[in-house]
Amino acid sequence: MPRPLQATIHTESFRHNLARARLAAPDAKVWAIVKANAYGHGIEHVFDGLRGADGFALLDLAEAQRVRTLGWRGPILLLEGVFEQRDLELCSRLDLWHTVHCNEQIDMLAIHKTNVPHRVFLKMNSGMNRLGFTPQRYRAAWTRLNALPQVDEISLMTHFSDADGALGVAQQMAVFAAVTRDLPGERSLSNSAATLRHNVNATDASAHPDTRVASDWVRPGIAIYGSAPDFPSHSASDWGLQPGMTLTSKIIATQEVAAGASVGYGSTFVAEQALRIGIVACGYADGYPRSCPTGTPVLVNGVRTRTLGRVSMDMLAVDLSALADAGASAGFGSPVTLWGRAANGTVLSIDEVAQWGTSVGYELMCALAPRVPVLVSHEGHL
């Protein structure tokens, strides 16, 4: 029998979360962001749940090829554009749309031989200082691109640094609006946080109309995986999102720990009183963060308890006495939910576990280890 650890991908959650993103931006087209192998879920595993999207956005050319192999004939956008000249040949061959964020990419386009001009997304660095042309250089880039026979439609794009936080999007949006006001083309601005929190697409948005730019294409990533972009300000359930992934295992051993005895490497947890603990087949080699300390929430038989001591490579320990105090019992073979939805419907959000490990849901899902078997479930639980 294989190790009892498993990740379950909830296809119906993906459908639901995609619909949730559409509800927040009813007039926009939706890029489903599937970079980093669909945030660790596996592109092939999430594809069915996301086929209702208007396009798939990612940044690895091999991943783009995989989306085409799955039979997707609609738009695919390379979020970082091309890295070298020959990438443009693949763009032509697979009909990939690509971001243009620097002059070197325009140089490559200018000498690219193609019969079919490319659809490009011209990126502005409106304040994040990662990718894109500065507001001062943006129009010159647009003019240069627009003059190339290799280029078809030019869409206008930027990315927010603080859509999930107190700073918000107003400043960057004002910069973008001022520079692009009279340029033609579709706009793409909003990631999950901007789509959910700043609702720039809503017709009743309170933002000033002269600095408000609606996204013709929104770019939700984390939200479609069922994690809150702005935890703990909002939880996934506050946003009406369903967990896209559940990580489950089982208790493979129990121990009676005497008062004063310790648990795990480094003896970081010392029992104040006698305890019964369960050893779970899941460790940091599976992608469970080693940084999660004693007290991190975990579900055993669908009931919340806590981890104890350090996370090992292949195992971690959970408190079964706390569970008994809660009126539940567990032992060898009891199911454990590390994050996601337990069989009884109880949800432990990946964001909460991540926060205990001083991380974010994004990082935990991306870190799911290749050794963890993945099951794609089509069952609904809404």
Which spans of this chain sit near ligand PLP (rule: CB under 6 A)?
33, 35, 79, 159, 191-193, 219-223, 229
Pairing of strands 316-319, 303-308: antiparallel
Q: Which residues pair with 8 in a beta bridge?
A: 246, 375
Longest C-alpha distance within the chain, in Å? 77
- Active-site annotation holds for 250: no
Name which of 222 and 353 has its Cβ closer to ligand PLP.
222
Cβ atoms of 369 and 313 within 8 Å: the answer is no
**Helix H segments across 114-267?**
135-146, 170-180, 192-193
Here the tokens at position 366 are: 């991306």
Marked catalytic residue, from 29, 123, 138, 265 = 265
Name which of 127 and 229 has its Cβ closer to ligand PLP.
229
**Helix H segments across the chain?**
11-24, 35-39, 43-50, 61-69, 87-94, 103-110, 135-146, 170-180, 192-193, 320-325, 350-356, 361-366
Name which of 91 and 252 has its Cβ closer to ligand PLP.
91
Here the tokens at position 110 are: 């200018």
Q: Which residues pair with 335 in a beta bridge?
A: 250
Residue 305 Cβ vs ligand PLP, minimum distance, rounded to whole Å: 30
Name which of 5 and 222 has its Cβ closer to ligand PLP.
222
Name the one residue in this structure whose structure tokens are 């092939």. Answer: 44
Residue 217 Cβ vs ligand PLP, minimum distance, rounded to whole Å: 10
Using Cβ positions, the residue closest to ligand PLP within the complex turns out to be 221
Which phi-psi region, left, alpha or beta, contains residue 266 (left: φ > 0; alpha: ψ -120 to 50)? left
- Active-site annotation holds for 39: no
Name which of 34 and 330 has its Cβ closer to ligand PLP.
34
Cα–Cα distance between 376 and 7 in angstroms, integer? 9
Marked catalytic residue, from 35, 123, 225, 288 = 35
Name the one residue in this structure whose structure tokens are 């001591």. Answer: 309
Residue 133 Cβ vs ligand PLP, minimum distance, rounded to whole Å: 15
Residue 219 Cβ vs ligand PLP, minimum distance, rounded to whole Å: 4
Give catalytic residues, as residue numbers. 35, 265
